[in-house]
Amino acid sequence: MFLLLSATSAHRSYKKLDEYLENDDIESFRHELLRLHQYNQMKWFEQLQNPSLRKNVYKALSAREFAAIFQKLKLKDQVDKVQELEDTYQADVFSAMSTNRLADLFNRLPEHVIHQSIDQMDAEQARTVMQLMKHEEGTAGALMTTEFVSLNKDLTIEQAIEKLRAFADLAETIYYVYVENDQHQLVGVVSLRHLLAGESTKTLEEIMKEEVIQVVQDKDQEDIAKLTKDYDLIAIPVVDDDRHLLGIIMVDEIMDVVEEEATEDLGEFAASRGALGIEISALLAAKKRAPWIMGLLLIGMVTAQIISFFENTLQEVVMLSAFIPLVMGAAGNTGTQTLAVIVRSISNDEVKKGVWKIILRELSAGFMIGICSAAVLLIVIPIFYNGNWPLAFIVGGSVFLALGFATFIGCVIPIIINKLNIDQAVASGPFITTLNDMVSIVIYFLIATSFLQYLQ
């Protein structure tokens, strides 16, 4: 099958699969399903609504074949479907799953299901899964899989290739062979390509690279993603404090991490931390987002108080209130631009290259944008407001100053917060916008009050 038009040809297969299954034509069903890529197998299974048809799938597939589909499902779907599996089939599916997927699933299943399954599992596998379950989410330990290949340094290339052939089906990757010493410590790595290119009588120790890019089990996933990207790795080994190899993290796991971290950045930016996914319910989304909005409302009350403080000025020239949103908006938007630059550079680690350079660049940019903005206002306001030049100067000057402060706030506060290792969420967009609101309002009314006589 040619997958250039993957969507349509896959959908054609899905239709056939539905038909075969409904007509109980198990042989055609198996033939059609198993030639599909596992991702497409999962996609088809995912949309299967009828529980009795799903039962037919379990009957048609071996536990191993179904495990390959099952472990690609979203965790939520896995939890739902687990109950549909008969006890022995369930145990066999679990045994055929990769240990880290199984650990993730177990972390979401009730105690008694886990205990029952563990009892039926191979003791070694059960032990590994229990170990994996202990790792905190977002660390190397939670991302790693234990299906890796490690060989003793004294094996020859020929022996190593022989072993690899045997492992090829079981391991997550055989493209890196990790080399251990007699104490089972990680001492080197040989890529499969170098293994194949090497003379067959040499030992692994002779051809291995001693510089192994590796991480300890509690390493944060963001750092792991950066290492993988920088060093162009397909997999990264995870070790304990004594350099014993515990597992490997595959690049496809890391792609998901990169995606996840980007979503997190945006979420913090938009005061929607943990609420960006569309799969969560409206109630849960509201629960996560409402506190931000309500908190910001309370801060907005402070802004209201500040404006009330200038009630006399407003009483004299009520038109001044028309420009409150404009001044605040300009400051807010500029602060957001700067914040986006800083958030991104913190998350890229670019910020380490030179904090002062970034601050200086942002302030210069803010200064230039301020001048342009003030110029625009000096032209536009007299046109719309019958040649009211004093008003144009008050608003234009306020915007210029407010932009300067906004750039400074949007730039310096997240950097300070990052330095202090306080949770980045505190520095999220709306917080800085609100701070900018207050500062710009004060600037505006101070200037307006000072030059009030020219307005009347």
CB of 21 to a second copy, least distance (A): 20
Q: Among 214, 217, 221, 424, indicate the residue that binds a second copy (CB under 8 A).
A: 214
The DSSP letter of residue 97 is S
Binding mask 168-207 for a second copy (x = CB under 8 A): xx----xx----------------xxx-xx----------
Report the nearest approach of a second copy to the CB of residue 398 (Å): 12
Q: Which of 364, 423, 426, 454 binds a second copy (CB under 8 A)?
A: 364
Counting contacts by CB under 8 A, is residue 389 touching a second copy? no
Task: Tell me the β-bridge partners of 178.
Answer: 150, 189
Nearest-approach distance from CB 304 to a second copy, in angstroms: 4
Among 84, 86, 350, 423, binds a second copy (CB under 8 A): 350
**DSSP state string for 136-195:** PTTBHHHH-BS---EEETT-BHHHHHHHHHHHTTTSS--SEEEEE-TT-BEEEEEEHHHH
Q: Does residue 159 belong to the site contacting a second copy (CB under 8 A)?
A: no
Give CA–CA dist 77/65, Å, rounded: 18
Of residues 63 and 381, the one with the C-beta less far from a second copy: 381
Interface stretch with a second copy, choices 54-62, 76-84, 369-377, 416-424 (CB under 8 A): 369-377
Nearer to a second copy, 97 or 114 (CB): 97
Looking at residues 324 to 343 of the shown chain, list those that interact with a second copy (rule: CB under 8 A). Answer: 324-326, 328-330, 332-334, 336-337, 339-341, 343
The one among 322, 416, 422, 426 contacting a second copy by CB under 8 A: 322
Q: Among 91, 105, 208, 358, which residue interacts with a second copy (rule: CB under 8 A)?
A: 358
Is residue 68 at the binding interface for a second copy, with CB under 8 A as the rule? no
Tell me the backbone φ, ψ of residue 185, rounded to 5 degrees. Answer: -95, 145
Q: For 218, which DSSP code? A: T
411 belongs to the binding site for a second copy (CB under 8 A): no
**Neighbour tally for 381: CB within 10 Å:** 21
Strand partners, 247: 238
Instruction: Kindly give the pairing relationship between strand 186-191 and strand 235-239.
Output: unpaired
54 versus 194: smaller Cβ distance to a second copy: 194
| Cα first-last separation, the chain | 80
| 115, 117, 119 from 112: Cα distances, Å | 5, 9, 11
CB of 126 to a second copy, least distance (A): 26
Residue 112 CB, nearest approach to a second copy (Å)? 33
Segment 422 to 451, residues that bind a second copy, using CB under 8 A: 429-430, 433-434, 437, 441
**222 in contact with a second copy (CB under 8 A):** no
- C-alpha 45/C-alpha 444 separation (Å) is 61
Q: Which residues, 6 or more positions from 170, have their beta carbon under 8 angstroms from its beta carbon?
A: 147
Q: Rule CB under 8 A: is residue 34 a binding residue for a second copy?
A: no
Rounded distance, CA 186 to CA 184, Å? 7
Pair 398, 327: CB distance under 8 Å: yes
User: Smallest Cα–Cα separation from 77: which of 44, 55, 46?
Assistant: 46
From residue 229 to residue 268, what is the string marking binding to a second copy with x (rule CB under 8 A)?
A: xxxxxx----x---x------xxx-xxx-xx--xx-xxx-
179: β partners: 151, 188
How many residues lie near a second copy (CB under 8 A)?
130
Choosing from 283, 356, 453, 456, the residue that interacts with a second copy (CB under 8 A) is 283
β-strand 215-216 against 186-191: which pairing, if any? unpaired
Examine residue 4 and tell whether it contacts a second copy (CB under 8 A): yes
